[in-house]
Amino acid sequence: MSDPLGFALAILVLPLVAALAAALLSRSSRAELAHIPLVTASAASAVLGAWLLLLVDDRPGHAVVGNLATWFAAGKLSVYFSVTIDPLAAVMLAMVTFVALWIAVFSSGYMHGDRGYGRFFAVMSLFVFSMCGLVLANNFLVLVAFWEGVGLCSYLLVGYYYDKPAAAAAARKAFLVTRIGDTGLILGVLLLWKLGGWNTDLTAVFDHIRTHTPDTAELTTACLLLFCGAVGKSAQFPLYVWLPDAMEGPTPVSALIHAATMVTAGVYLLARCAPLLVICPEARFLVGVTGGITAVLAAFLALAQTDLKRILAYSTVSQLGLMFLALGTAGAISPALAVTAAMFHLFTHAFFKALLFLAAGSVMHALGGVIDVRKFGGLRKRLPVTHLTFLCGAAALAGVPLLSGFWSKDLVLEAVQQAGHRGPHATGYLFLFGVALLTTFLTAFYTFRAYFLSFWGAERVPEVPEVPGEAGPHAHESPPVMTVPLLVLAVGALFVGIVAEPFTHWFSHFLGQTPTLAPQVLADGLAPRATAHGTTAADPGLNAGPNHGFNWTTAGLSTACALAGIGLAYAVYRRGEPQRYPAPVETLFSLSRNKLYVEDIYEAVVVKPAGILAFLAAAFDGFLDGLTRLIAAVPRFIGQWARPVQNGLVQFYALSMALGLVVFLTFVMFRVAR
């Protein structure tokens, strides 16, 4: 029982079984039990995931690669169902299943009595299954398959209220926008197949690229194509537009998408492919820049939103931007440190973002579906548990010192700051460091704006609930089945950071054992390029393990930014929304409220032309249809004319035959006679 492979497969298969069980239950009369399979399976998976962490920790420095079966093989292309279990995958698995467990528990209360209860849990289970498969996959094509599975499940869940036009449109948007990225991903996989010596297994590709260094331009293209997939899935600029709209789905779905199963896929993909980023300075800098732009842009967009869930959605986009920013430093600094920073932020973010969404869901539950912060306020008396847990999540997200968000953000900042010291794009990274600090300030501000607007000021509850029959004016705290997950995740949001990293360095030690991030891999990969960029493989900064001292300057700067943001929010919003803002602020807020007109630009540049093209295609199709109908009308017309011959009288038929015979014989005789 100490084989990590068996554990990993059990973690993978349990949610699938749960999906099937929930689907079967949803067709039966006991649909109200449909949450049991998912809760049981994710609980078991979470336990196994924790155990798997210990097992992986026991064998440092090498990954378990299991080749389960051949999917298909033709010519040079052979695709195996192979899985890899290394610290990176183990951390993701444990995190995904743990967060999914509490979201599932919360949903069983939140979705209680819903019409599609069984469907909801079946797709949620499938979602978790797809994500686990994505995490474990050691083959690019298998990874793409699970990647699409994640996309499908997000489509199904965002469009869960499919009879609501906005939800259907949001689901379509999510699917189509991520599809743009997926196209890039598939192209990137094909290019890597070529560059990696016609291998499709990740480890084989990395090995081959390390020993046979390919053309830099091609490798950079491949990296950027992979990143394109990550941009779509992880909602980075310019493809972030689907994520805020995805709030149309039920709130636990948002929590799952944002915390565990969907948007983290892109970060994880790049973390997996860190060996490639390491040897592509241009590609990794672009990753960092994209991350930086996204982080600050999304934080700006979140400033003036009025929909609580939308604020959280933009904050996710922004935090994902920070993760990509950290990943973009892999190679400029030790990849182990860069990936650790990104993954640690992802890890803590999963806790506090799931918590924030579930708390928002609890608010919605109490107020009968109302989520517009202009319509309610001062809820801290009515919803004490929700209030406290939301505060924990918000503080962690804002980066209040000693909370988990603080430590992980600090790690990200430190990675960027170190990358600014030397290397090809040092100045650029320094600039990005400034961007990250600005993002920290904005994040603290908008998070606490949402918090103060929702829970402080005079108590206001909406008179008219959006869902009839729900407790609108009689808002009350949610039942324990919803508050317990909030409390558990709140504990996580508060303490997971301080336990895992700053003093013990557990997390960075653990992730540092991932073979693909090991220093000697990096040294091999860098050796051919080292001279070109004026660095050497022996550079101590590059080969250093993930150990790092605590950087007081960085921490101090980020703390100052966070506290400034919180203080500003407190000054402005502690009594509710102010009546009017000063003119320049109002301009900024209106820009933010209108989402910087990015969506309008997309509408004009992409959606409208596509609509016109579709209209033209439909018109041409109509023309072709008309043409074929015209051709089909000719025989019908002739038939109209010839049909009376078939009058059903035997004698008439016989007479026609006789006359025909006469004509034939006459013809023959005259021919013969001539």
Partner 1 sequence: MITLGHYLAVAAALFGIGLVGFLTRRNLITSFLCAEMMLQGVAINFVAFARYHGNLQGQAFVVFILAVAACEAAVALALFVMLYRRGKSLDASVWQSLRELGVPPAVDTEPLPAAPRAEDEIRLPPAGVRPAAPADEEEAARV
The residues of the shown chain that bind partner 1, judged by CB under 8 A, are: 643-651, 654-655, 658
Phi, psi of 374 (to 5 degrees): -75, -20
Task: State the CB neighbour count (10 A cutoff) for residue 460.
Answer: 13
Closest to partner 1 by CB, 607 vs 658, is 658
Shortest separation between residue 662's beta carbon and partner 1, angstroms: 11
How far apart (Å, rounded) are the C-alpha atoms in residues 158 and 258? 12
Beta carbons of 149 and 130 less than 8 angstroms apart = yes
Cβ atoms 121, 24 nearer than 8 A: no
**Nearest residue (CB) to partner 1, 614 versus 658:** 658
| Rounded distance between C-alpha atoms, residue 483 and residue 106, angstroms | 8
| Nearest CB to partner 1, comparing residues 166 and 665 | 665
Instruction: Indicate the angle between helix axes 335-366 and 384-398, nearest 10 degrees.
Output: 160
CA distances 470 to 370, 477, 483, Å, are: 10, 13, 18
CB-nearer residue toward partner 1: 72 or 637: 637
Closest approach, Cβ 629 to partner 1, in A, equals 21
Shortest distance in whole angstroms from residue 620 CB to partner 1:
36
Nearer to partner 1, 617 or 662 (CB): 662
Q: Which amino acid is at 131?
A: M
Shortest Å, Cβ 669 to partner 1: 15
Q: Quick one: tokens of 236?
A: 């980075």
In whole angstroms, how close is the CB of 657 to partner 1 at the nearest point?
10
Measured CA to CA, the distance from residue 44 to residue 66 in angstroms comes to: 22
As a whole number of angstroms, the distance between CA 144 and CA 147 comes to: 5
User: Which strand (E) or helix (H) includes residue 332?
Assistant: none
Nearer to partner 1, 620 or 653 (CB): 653
Using DSSP's 3-state secondary structure scheme, residue 163 falls into coil
CA 115 to chain centre: 26
Tell me the HSE value of 136 on the side-chain side, using a 13 A CA sphere: 30
The answer to whether the bond into 238 is cis (omega within 30° of 0) is: yes
- Least separation in angstroms between CB 647 and partner 1: 5
- Tell the smallest beta-carbon distance from residue 653 to partner 1 (Å): 10
Please tell me what DSSP assigns to residue 66. E
CB of 655 to partner 1, least distance (A): 6
Q: What is the 3-state secondary structure (H, E, C) of 409-456?
A: HHHHHHHHHHHCCCCCCHHHHHHHHHHHHHHHHHHHHHHHHHHHHHHC
Closer Cβ to partner 1, 596 or 655, answer by number? 655
What's the closest the beta carbon of residue 651 comes to partner 1, in angstroms? 6
Shortest Cβ 652–partner 1 spacing (Å): 8
Per-residue burial over 313-329, b if 16 or more Cβ lie within 10 Å, else e, is bbbbbbbbbbbbbbbbb
Give min distance, CB of 650 to partner 1, in A. 5
Residue among 534 and 648 whose Cβ is closer to partner 1: 648
Least Å distance, CB 668 to partner 1, is 17
Q: Enumerate the β-bridge partners of residue 82.
A: 67
Identity of the residue, 615 or 652, whose beta carbon is nearer to partner 1 in the bound complex: 652
Distance of CA 270 to the CA centre of its chain: 13
| 498 phi and psi angles, rounded to 5 deg | -70, -30
- Closer to partner 1 by Cβ: residue 29 or 647: 647
Nearer to partner 1, 649 or 673 (CB): 649
Q: Phi and psi at residue 79, in whole multiples of 5°?
A: -120, 125
| Nearest to partner 1 of 503, 652 (CB atom) | 652
Q: Are 279 and 526 in contact (CB under 8 A)?
A: yes
- Strand, helix or coil at 70? strand
Alpha helices in 328-373 (DSSP H): 335-366
